[in-house]
Amino acid sequence: MSEVRGGLDGREPTIVSLSINGRKRTVLIDLRTSLLDALRDHVGLTGTKKGCDHGQCGACTVHLNGQRALSCLLFAIMAEDGEVSTIEGLAGPGDELHPMQQAFIDHDGFQCGYCTSGQIMAAIACVAEGHAETDADIREYMSGNLCRCGCYPNVVAAIRQARNRMRGA
């Protein structure tokens, strides 16, 4: 009989291979570990934030295979065959900021910054998936990303700017 990874209850430390920001990373984890905890506690990528840890706030938003994903709701092993992108992977060569990062700076799209990684990752997906045509579309798509500092109008303005730059307009 083939061996069950992690044992029957998933608790046995198990090697999981992840591709994060184009780099292969191997972690030894309990298979019940969330992708968020794997990123923060096992890989050391703490840019992705934990707010609620149950899918309510958007602070943990990353991209999995180019689509936005709430990393607190995924087991790390669910990303084993995919490509994970986090805020740390956005800047280009020479630390040139992604247009969305620059737009958040230009429009004061943050105050304390705790929600900002998740906002930016969701905002990039918002543009990439074609949900940034109008302010109403942007607000609807971004409604899962909460900001206790109330930066919502500035976030919409930032997405508008980045949308045009991402399209080369």
Contact status: 110 vs ligand FES (CB under 6 A): yes
Cβ neighbour number for residue 68 with a 10 Å cutoff: 22
Q: Assess contact for 166 and 99: CB atoms under 8 A.
A: yes
Residues 12-51, mask of contacts with ligand FES (x by CB under 6 A): --------------------------------------xx
Q: Which DSSP string corresponds to 76-126?
A: GGGGTTSEEE-GGG-S-GGGPPPHHHHHHHHTT--SS-TTHHHHHHHHHHH
By CB under 6 A, residue 142 contacts ligand FES: no
- Give min distance, CB of 70 to ligand FES, in A: 5
Told to check if 53 binds ligand FES by CB under 6 A, we report yes
CB of 152 to ligand FES, least distance (A): 9
Give min distance, CB of 106 to ligand FES, in A: 15
What torsion, rounded to 10 degrees, do the Cα atoms 106, 109, 111, 117 define?
Answer: -110
Q: Which of 27, 35, 58, 100 binds ligand FES (CB under 6 A)?
A: 58
Q: State yes or no: residue 87 binds ligand FES (CB under 6 A).
A: no
How far apart, in whole angstroms, are the C-alpha atoms of residue 54 and residue 21?
24
Contact (Cβ atoms closer than 8 angstroms) between residue 140 and residue 159: no
Binding site for ligand FES (CB under 6 A): 50-53, 55-60, 70, 72, 110-116, 147-149, 151
